Amino acid sequence: MYRIAFNPVALLLMLLPVGVASCAAPASPAWQKPGASEIVVAKDAAECRDTAEQEAELRYPRGFATPTLGAPGLAMAQQRDNTDRANAVTAALNACMRERGYVREAR
């Protein structure tokens, strides 16, 4: 009878490219505005990001999770707050750039 040997290193090497490829995020569309140079776009994006991060910190301040939840609950609350903060930054950044006349176009 034939015996098939299990080689974990070979399995890892076969699955690694699949894992890396599945983690690669598609590039987000670039902000475009007629007549705006790359320098102006970068400056506006940086200003909008700074403003968005400040607004998100006000809405979702760090370190205000409920202490009665215990360690697992506290970790989950912090993860939720980090996710909410990141979503707020993205929404505020997008709104700021749109207010300045930018639109997103695929690269």
List the chain domain ranges: 28-105
Whether 45 has a pLDDT exceeding 60, the answer reads: yes
Average pLDDT score over residue span 55-83: 78
Compute the distance between CA of residue 22 and CA of residue 81 in angstroms, rounded to an integer: 26
Residue the block writes with tokens 């950044």: 93
Highest mean pLDDT out of 3-12, 19-28, 41-50, 97-106 = 41-50
Contact 29, 81 (CB under 8 A): no
Q: Tokens in use for 102?
A: 């930018």
pTM over 0.75: no
CA 50 – CA 7 distance, rounded (Å) = 50
Residue 14 confidence (pLDDT): 62
User: What integer best gives the mean pLDDT of the chain?
Assistant: 80
Look at 52-56, 57-61, 103-107 and tell me which has the smallest mean pLDDT.
103-107
Q: Give the separation between CA 28 and CA 101, rounded to whole angstroms.
A: 18
